[in-house]
Structure 1
Amino acid sequence: MKFTKSTVLIFFTFLILNCSKSEAPNPEPKAEEKPDPDTNPEEPIEPKNEVYFSYYSDPNDTYSQWNDNWIILHDQGGELLDYRQFAIGDSLEFKKSAEMLLNVQTLSVTVLKHRLGEGGGHHHAMDTRTSINKGTVWGWAVNEPKILNPPKTNSAQIGITVNNVPNVHWFELSSQPQGHLEGHPFYQETDVLEIGGVRLYKDISYLLSLRDGNEEIKYQILELPDPFSNIVLNYDDFLEYDNVLEVELPDYKSYAAYVSARNKSINYSNSFSISRESSGRQPRSVAKLGYINSFDTFHTDLVLHYDDQTTYNRYKIGVMPTSINVPEDPQFQAYGNTIYDYSFTTNQDYYRNTSYWTYEDEERDIITRYSFGGKSDNGVLTGTLPDQVLENFPYLNLDNLNRELTSLTIGENVDHVSDDIQTIFGLIVQQDIETIKFKTSD
């Protein structure tokens, strides 16, 4: 059989086409499409931690020799929440999830400090405060800077005489740069006040306050005369105080009342002593505290001892108190002999109670000072220290503490009721406080 050229060409063309089709690569399978991340079911969100207590240790703590310090937190039922060691100046924030804090209503906060005594013994200071709100901050503040006292100018040692006083019962001389200069709470009953040999400086104002035999209080502002000479005043020219706070006094063993004053714009380290009195030869039923409107900051302090065991104190820095109401007959009864079974009853309404306990072994130089309290009605301690802390302090002697006194915070609008605390040089700052203290009978 003959094949023509055209027939052969057609045959090879067909063969090449078939081979090309068979050698063509197979299509790759489509890659599996990744699902849109937005369409994924949401992953569980980690619970956010809340700061339920903050403690900022005061770097200026005067007692920075404490070398082993701990803070321990319990809830209202005594359940341990956390505890940490800290150094002076450390900042601590305690956190837990909101879920873990659901059953935590209030906190019990304990700060424990330890140092070695000079005799090689162990000194402990511990403070526990209960009924503390969640979110409370214990921090520190920088002390308000003081203006340096003005340079001393020309001065002279002079005498001051006040005539026509209806019996002098008490006097005091002071200045803001120098503070108290002269005074006598039990001055002789005479119609003439004589102050001899007092040094006054030029261009400084002095305040002379006086209480007379009619139980009236007055004052006078004076300066060093130019030329220098003795000062002679007449009591009739003395000034009435702009405001006089009268405080009714219950029966007392002794008392002292004091008002100093200054202006914030001239913040010397001292203040004018503008009013002062104390229990004299004759019992008083009313204390009188004088205030002068030209000052903007007053320091009011009244301490009254009912007897050897019971003391009332009203302390305020700022404006003049609207009133001071000294309780008539405060009663207090303590029960239990240890910090674990201690309780008390009282006829006083109070915001917070604090009991002070001590253990002291002079021979071995072992000292523990412990204060605890809160807003509860019985003062009972809740919770125990962690084992690690107890092991670190084998000489703590909590079982052997003896109560020294219990302090009740009373009155209205006192900042001590706040759970937040600030310290200056390691000491708690209190601007407005009213307390009754009951000492343990000897």
Structure 2
Amino acid sequence: MTHDWKDEAARDLMSLGGRLANLERGKGSHVWDTEGNRFLDFLGGIAVNALGHAHPVFVEAVTQQAQRLAHVSNYFATPQQLELAARLKRLAKTGDEGRVFLANAGTEANETALKLARLHGNKRGKGTILCLNGAFHGRTTGALALTPKAAYQDPFAPLLPGVVAIDPTIEALERAFTDDVAAIFAEPIQGEAGVVPLPDGFLARARELATEHDALLILDEVQTGSGRTGEWFAHQALGITPDAITIAKSAGGGFPIGALITFGEASSLFYPGTHNSTFGGNPLASAVANAVLEHIEDTGLLENVTRRGAEIREKVQELPLVSHTRGAGLLIGIVLDGPVAAEVAAAAFERGLIINAPAADVIRLAPAYTIGDDEIAEFLDIFAASLDAVAHSQENAS
């Protein structure tokens, strides 16, 4: 059978990566393609679909708000925008001084955070922004400067000056922190590097050094935020207070939204004319995010995230080719015995399971917060079969 959709994609879409299937609908943790094939989605749109697909809360919020007011310019506030900003401040525990800038995506939130860092540094004559090797903060030119991967950066050099990448170790952190540092960007768990948590004590030391050197600690919680780790924000489990965090992905449950949330004195750095967004904080996106976050909170889904994440990690540990697991909540990295993650992900897809391989030896899971016994049982069956298939292929090759 000719895959006409692949021909159309090749003809009409920019060549920016392979497309595995032509998906047309979803329900809960499952999606279907245009040929009727059914898949269990354990990647969740890369940590986006917190409530799964076509959840009634999501659908109702989109429908009701679209019938009332979808977009106004940033000359105006809306009740939905104000409600969301107050909600994010409460969940992030910013206190009264906190402020929220609503954007459209994680990359845009990180671009905003970069400008925050420059505002802070320029006031003080500081020109250096630190980021971490292994980090991923986005693909726009500013965020890309914070993403020290040659394959991503080199085609677009020169990038934003003054950004220095360091190894994610306390020793490297202490060596790099001078009085010229305006800010440090870090992900509590580096998702695109293979779900790699920062070393114990790293962020606590970063907080100390940032305070000592009058720099900002900016945490990218695009993947880890909005409940993905079982806490509203991953840094809350560490007992530290950053100067700013960026969020997106799960916050809208599938509707595009991002945000920069500031704490304390960092909240007063922006002033009229220094930043804005045409679509950021529009009433439709804000209404959906309010509904998604309210449902997560009111139904105790964070408890399910913690419990189901621990259950999955425990059960996959018994499977072939699995070395160990890492991550938190429902952001899980399954580390394999060898660099066969791409083969495992492909074998899983052939059997109707969507996962991905962010590193050569790591499988990433980021399913919906709503998963239960049935979804986990189906996942384990397909994943085990996929691991077996790759293991047998290795044996035959040897």
TM-score, scaled relative to structure 2: 0.25
Structure holding more strand per residue: 1
Bigger helix fraction: 2
Structure with greater contact order relative to length (CA < 8 Å, sep ≥ 6): 2
Bigger Cα Rg: 1
